[in-house]
């Protein structure tokens, strides 16, 4: 039965005051009324701390707020489609929703990078500021709509770690020939420094490190990295994660599915995502600290900071990579301009607030 006929039947039902009966006779997923079940594919292993639990929590929040009228079934990476196929699955309607990281879709448009994280970009709070108040949301909606998707922030990892290395990184020469897993524009920065950067789904990192297929990998931070057991395959743990200073993760919805929901259901999804975004940031802040303690005290992991001259080279290379990425197409350039303006605004205030405060607190 075609959608056109369905819609006509529904309208007819509403007009005669028998909407419930009409809905019962048509294919349920196209309409707001009645119990619905949406399929959400994700780029994460099942129930992986923070990343995989966030979509589960969103589903629970949505179910509770709709009294079970809207259920979301979660598929881990590889269950319905592969991790990096999640976006296409939602774009084409194979799945209704995805949960992932926008920079995984950078092959479609470089602009997607800015809605997760870019090297030397925004912290979690700065990203929230841009998306919610600095014009980011409107640009994101325009971008996603080109692919029949609408997406929302629904988790944030906070500042990530620089990654796990099987050797010490003491000079820029140590990046030459290094096989490293680093997605997004951070990976491009690595390539400019002579490394061979690859983007692997999380679940493939440990075996690739163990077999020697890669020498180094970033993932997230102590909480998530401990869960994957990277301390068993690499000795040196570097900070900070220049490439992901506050990675925003997202939930996307097929635009036709979104439009078929009631305004109440749409608002519930928006709020479930916003609540999970805030909650994950708190959880990462708390659990990264305790997991770092375990890594260092129990597993004797060697924590290192990138030397100042390495950080400087990473910053200079990142600046070039961002400018070149933004020059790829006019829309990405527009996103970059908006991102830069909001970041400058946040940095101006941060220089007088959080920065001197946290520095002073540490010195006391
Ligand atoms: Ca990462």
Measure 344 CA to ligand 1 centroid, in angstroms.
Answer: 24
pLDDT band with cut points at 50, 70 and 90 for residue 33: low
**DSSP class per residue in 291-304:** HHHIIIIIT--EEE
Measure 93 CA to ligand 1 centroid, in angstroms.
Answer: 28
Measure 244 CA to ligand 1 centroid, in angstroms.
Answer: 6
Whole-model pTM: value is 0.88
Q: Which of 15-24, 35-44, 92-101, 161-170 has the lowest mean pLDDT?
A: 15-24
Measure 250 CA to ligand 1 centroid, in angstroms.
Answer: 14
Measure 15 CA to ligand 1 centroid, in angstroms.
Answer: 52
Query: What topology does CATH give the domain 36-158+246-285?
Result: D-Maltodextrin-Binding Protein; domain 2 (3.40.190)
Backbone angles phi, psi at 252, to 5 degrees: -110, 150
| 118, 185 Cβ separation under 8 angstroms | yes
Angstrom distances, CA of residue 43 to CA of 37, 138, 217: 20, 25, 17
Given a cut of 90, whether residue 251 has pLDDT beyond it is: yes
Q: For the segment 168-195, what is each residue's pLDDT rounded down to a tens digit?
A: 999 999 999 999 999 889 999 999 999 9
**36-158+246-285 and 163-243+300-344 share one CATH topology?**
yes
Strands (E), 157-268: 163-165, 179-181, 196-198, 216-217, 236-239, 248-254
Measure 354 CA to ligand 1 centroid, in angstroms.
Answer: 24
**What distance separates the 2 farthest-apart alpha carbons in the chain?**
76
Angstrom distances, CA of residue 238 to CA of 197, 222, 247, 292: 17, 11, 17, 12
pLDDT band with cut points at 50, 70 and 90 for residue 363: confident
Class of domain 163-243+300-344 as given by CATH: alpha beta
The domain segmentation of the chain, as residue ranges, is: 36-158+246-285, 163-243+300-344
| Of 155 and 12, the one with more pLDDT | 155
CA–CA separation, 226 and 210 (whole Å): 15
């Amino acid at each position: 039965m075609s959608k056109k006929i369905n819609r006509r039947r529904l309208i007819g039902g509403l007009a005669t005051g028998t909407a419930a009966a009409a809905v019962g006779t048509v294919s349920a997923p196209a309409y707001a009324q009645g119990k619905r079940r949406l399929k959400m594919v994700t780029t994460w292993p099942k129930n992986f701390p923070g990343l995989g639990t966030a979509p589960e929590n969103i589903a629970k929040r949505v179910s509770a707020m709709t009294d079970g009228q809207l259920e979301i079934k979660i598929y881990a990476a590889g269950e319905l489609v592969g991790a990096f196929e999640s976006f296409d699955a939602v774009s084409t309607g194979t799945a209704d929703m995805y949960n992932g990281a926008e920079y995984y879709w950078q092959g479609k448009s470089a602009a997607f990078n800015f809605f997760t994280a870019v090297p030397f970009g925004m912290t979690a709070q700065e990203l929230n500021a841009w998306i919610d108040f600095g014009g980011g949301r409107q640009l994101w909606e325009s971008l996603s709509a080109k692919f029949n998707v609408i997406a929302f922030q629904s988790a944030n990892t906070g500042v990530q770690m620089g990654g796990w290395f099987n050797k010490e990184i003491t000079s820029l020469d140590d990046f030459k020939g290094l096989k490293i897993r680093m997605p997004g524009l951070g990976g491009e920065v690595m390539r400019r420094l002579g490394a061979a950067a690859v983007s692997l789904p999380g679940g493939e990192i440990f075996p690739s490190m163990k077999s020697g297929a890669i020498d180094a990998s970033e993932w997230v931070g102590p909480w998530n990295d401990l869960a994957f057991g990277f301390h068993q395959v690499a000795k040196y743990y570097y900070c900070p994660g220049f490439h992901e200073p506050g990675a925003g993760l997202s939930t996307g919805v097929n635009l036709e599915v979104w439009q078929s929901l009631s305004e109440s259901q749409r608002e519930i999804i928006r709020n479930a995502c916003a609540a999970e975004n805030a909650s994950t940031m708190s959880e990462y802040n708390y659990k990264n600290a305790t997991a770092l303690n375990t890594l260092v005290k129990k597993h004797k992991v060697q924590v290192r900071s990138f030397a100042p001259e390495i950080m400087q080279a990473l910053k200079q290379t990142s600046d070039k990579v961002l400018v070149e990425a933004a020059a790829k197409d006019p829309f990405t350039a527009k996103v970059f301009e908006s991102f830069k303006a909001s970041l400058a605004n946040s940095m101006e205030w941060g220089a007088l607030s959080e920065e001197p405060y946290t520095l002073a607190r540490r010195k006391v």
